[in-house]
Structures are given as C-alpha cells and as structure tokens.
C-alpha cells in the first residue's frame, strides 16, 4: 500500500479539479495523457451510482449535439449524460435538412454561432480534415468540441467508453492487457483505432487482424509509433488461425469494430464476404477457453449486422458489447463534467 497526501474521502469536485481538462477539445483519444485518462475513468466510477438517478451538477449548462452522420448511441448517450448531470441539451440530428447548413452555412459559422448558445458541442462529421481545419481557424471563438466521430480515423469517446469497460472488467491494469482488433477493414475502423490509441497510451498490447489493402491508416500508425506502442498487424488470417492466435497470445479482449460499409454502398457485398473469416462463434470462444484458460471478452461498437459474428454470444459471459452501452453513460458524464467544469 502507498499512502499519498491527497488520501481522503472521495469528492467529485476535487476529482474534476485533479483531472484538469476543463475547456479542452477532444479530437483524438491520445490528446489525453495517461494521467488524464486515469482521472477520467476515476471520475466515471464516481458517477456510476448516479447514471440512472442523476445529480444536479451542471444546472443551466447546455450541451449541443450536431450530427452530420446518423447515430443512436453516441448522440443519445451524450444527451443522457448531460441530462443526468442536471444540464440541458440542444440537439440537431439532421443538419443538412433542418439547420442553416441546408442554406449553405459553413461549419465554421455554425460552430461560431452555436458557441454563443451552448457550453460544449459534440460534433459528428464525415470530413475529418474539414473539422480539424475549422477548429484551428476558430481558435478562441469556440466552446470545447468533443468529437462524436470524424471521418474514418477518429471516434475518441467510443474509444474512451471501450477503455472504461476494459478498465472495469479487467481490474484497471492496462499494462497486462492484450487486445485483438479484428475486422476486414482496418482503414475505416475509427472506433477500433480510437480504442487502440487509448490502449497504446496506457501500455496495453494490441494485435490487429485485417486484410491486405485495407490496413491501419498512416495517421494512426504514426501515433502508435510515437507512443512506442506494442502492436502487430496480421493480414488475411482464417477464422481458425485467428482463434489459435487468440489462445496462443493469451488475448483478453476481442474487439470487433463491425461493418464500415453502409447498405447500398458499392463494396458492401465484398466486405460481407471477407467478414466470413471474422465470424467468431460461441463454439470457437469455448475452444479458446479450453486452450488458454481465458474467457475472452467480446466487444463491438454497434450497430451490428447479421453475418458479423454469432449472436448466440449475447447469452454468454463473453458478451461485453451491451455492457459497454451501460458504461458509456457514466463515462460520458465524466467527460462532459471534466470538460465543462463544475465551477
């Protein structure tokens, strides 16, 4: 046991002061240091008793959600988190139809205007380069912006809730954790890549399994290399080879970022065909347990499609993807409270 000078009863105000990320944007998960990540998780744990009942910490504060791409989880859970903190929400889920973006208002102008109303903005946008350029241009003329997913490369709050789930289920020590991220398309797996960046920041081991030609984007590799991350990328493995790899390497968590190709898009049939070699089953996970002695946790960012994995996993101890949804609310309460601040 190590005694520290700040040892004492838990205090949310003191915890938020300690996290010290008030007023910051969140674009990539590795914008946060390992200490800041730890403090975001500690704050989230303090909010867990209130994730249903709520508490009055951000009365009269306003969160705006502006989503240029469809969403259920990311938008609703940020909005739920803000309501549970006692705050209010402005929501725009179809800006190209029902906001002045339909009258050609630029993203820059929209953010500058919203910043006069709200205290924090959660933005989802298909064009990461556009958003990053506008955030730089806006400088001091914007409220903090939390990415709800930009382009193909970043979805940091999904990565945070995945990390928080891993932190809770495996006891908080990332340095002993091994995580496999498996998808035919690592080039567009923004949730899996955000999880990977956070895991790398905390010293966990990452094993990618993807396909030739759709590898991890250079922007993510540069970040992983910059953090001296321990990671390896395998390509074109069969499902049996992946199961053996999981058992041999003692993988703790299997992360399935899901289908990146929308219904009706060219290439979806090809993606779903490749997906056949990523179809993890209850029997396969049981075989891994017999080989390695580990009950591998299965994580997925959802939504999911038939054909991605055996939905029979829902009824087993491997299932973490619906539990992730529960953890997303206290995690996002923590993020909002820490970024807006309590004073």
Is residue 65 near ligand CP by the rule CB under 6 A? no
Q: By CB under 6 A, which span of 45-53, 65-73, 113-121, 181-189 interacts with ligand CP?
A: 65-73
Nearer to ligand CP, 15 or 147 (CB): 147
Min. distance of Cβ 73 from ligand CP in angstroms?
4
Instruction: Return the residue of 39, 301, 334, 338 that touches ligand CP, per CB under 6 A.
Output: 301
The pair of three-digit structure tokens given for residue 333, joined into one six-digit string? 């309460």
Q: Nearest approach, Cβ of 298 to ligand CP (angstroms)?
A: 15
| Cα separation values, 173 from 16, 120, 199, Å | 22, 31, 11
Span of 176-184, 198-206, 217-225, 298-306 interacting with ligand CP by CB under 6 A: 298-306
Q: Should residue 165 be labelled a site residue for ligand CP when binding is judged by CB under 6 A?
A: no
Question: Residue 176 half-sphere exposure, CB side, CA atoms within 13 Å?
Answer: 5
Give the C-alpha separation, 198 to 253, whole Å.
14
Element (H, E) at 230: strand 230-235
List Cβ neighbours of 111 (8 Å cut-off, separation of 6 or more). 121, 123, 134, 138, 142, 145
Q: How far is the CB of 295 from ligand CP (least distance, A)?
A: 24
Quick one: which segment of 45-53, 70-78, 203-211, 273-281 binds ligand CP (CB under 6 A)? 70-78
Q: Contacting ligand CP (CB under 6 A), which of 43, 147, 158, 187?
A: 158
Decide whether 154 or 158 has the Cβ nearer to ligand CP: 158
Interaction of residue 294 with ligand CP, rule CB under 6 A: no
Q: Does 325 bind ligand CP (CB under 6 A)?
A: no
Q: Is-contact 95 68, C-beta < 8 A? A: yes
302 binds ligand CP (CB under 6 A): yes
316 binds ligand CP (CB under 6 A): no
> Distance (Å, rounded) from C-alpha 266 to C-alpha 169?
38
As a residue count, the chain comes to 343
Q: What share of the chain is helix, strand, coil (3-state, %, to 5)?
A: 50, 15, 35
Q: Of the candidates 70, 63, 61, 69, which has an alpha carbon nearest to the alpha carbon of residue 90?
A: 63
Judged by beta carbon, residue 74 or residue 110, the one nearer ligand CP is 74
Return the residues of window 174-213 that contact ligand CP according to CB under 6 A.
none
Rule CB under 6 A: say whether 260 interacts with ligand CP.
no
15: contact with ligand CP by CB under 6 A = no
The DSSP-derived string for 120-137 is EEEEEES-HHHHHHHHHH
Residues sharing a CB contact under 8 Å with residue 241, sequence separation 6 or more, in sequence order:
none
The residue count for binding ligand CP (CB under 6 A) is 8
Phi, psi angles (nearest 5°) of residue 139: 45, -115
Scan residues 73-132 and list those touching ligand CP (CB under 6 A).
73-74
**71 touches ligand CP by CB under 6 A:** yes
* Sites of contact with ligand CP (CB under 6 A): 71-74, 158, 301-303
């Amino acid at each position: 046991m190590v005694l520290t000078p700040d040892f004492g009863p838990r205090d949310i105000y003191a915890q938020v002061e300690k996290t010290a990320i008030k007023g910051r944007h969140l674009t990539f998960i590795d914008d946060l240091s390992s200490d800041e990540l730890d403090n975001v998780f500690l704050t989230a744990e303090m909010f867990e008793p209130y994730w249903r009942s709520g508490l009055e910490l951000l009365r009269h504060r306003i969160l705006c959600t502006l989503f240029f791409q469809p969403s259920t989880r990311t938008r609703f859970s940020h909005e739920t988190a803000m309501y549970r903190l006692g705050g209010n929400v402005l929501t725009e889920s179809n800006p190209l139809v029902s906001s002045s973006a339909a009258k050609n208002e630029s993203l820059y102008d929209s953010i500058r205007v919203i910043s006069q109303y709200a205290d924090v903005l959660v933005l989802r946008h298909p064009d990461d380069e556009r958003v990053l350029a506008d955030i730089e241009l806006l400088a001091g003329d914007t409220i903090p912006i939390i990415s709800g997913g930009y382009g193909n490369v970043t979805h940091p709050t999904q990565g945070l809730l995945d990390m928080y789930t891993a932190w809770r289920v495996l006891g908080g020590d990332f340095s002993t954790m091994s995580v496999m991220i498996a998808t035919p398309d690592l080039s567009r797996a923004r949730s899996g890549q955000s999880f990977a960046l956070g895991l790398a920041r905390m010293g966990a081991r990452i094993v990618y399994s993807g396909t030739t030609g759709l590898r991890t984007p250079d922007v993510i590799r540069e970040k992983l290399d910059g953090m001296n991350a321990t990671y390896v990328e395998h390509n074109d493995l069969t499902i049996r080879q992946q199961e053996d790899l999981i058992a041999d390497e003692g993988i703790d968590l299997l992360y399935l970022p899901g289908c990146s190709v929308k219904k009706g898009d060219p290439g979806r049939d090809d993606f779903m065909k490749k997906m056949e070699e990523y179809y993890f089953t209850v029997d396969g996970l049981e075989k891994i347990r017999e080989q390695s002695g580990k009950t591998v946790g299965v994580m997925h960012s959802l939504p999911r499609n038939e054909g991605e994995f055996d939905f029979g996993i829902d009824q087993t101890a491997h299932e973490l993807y619906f539990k992730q949804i529960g953890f997303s609310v206290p995690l996002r309460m923590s993020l909002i409270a820490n970024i807006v601040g309590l004073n």
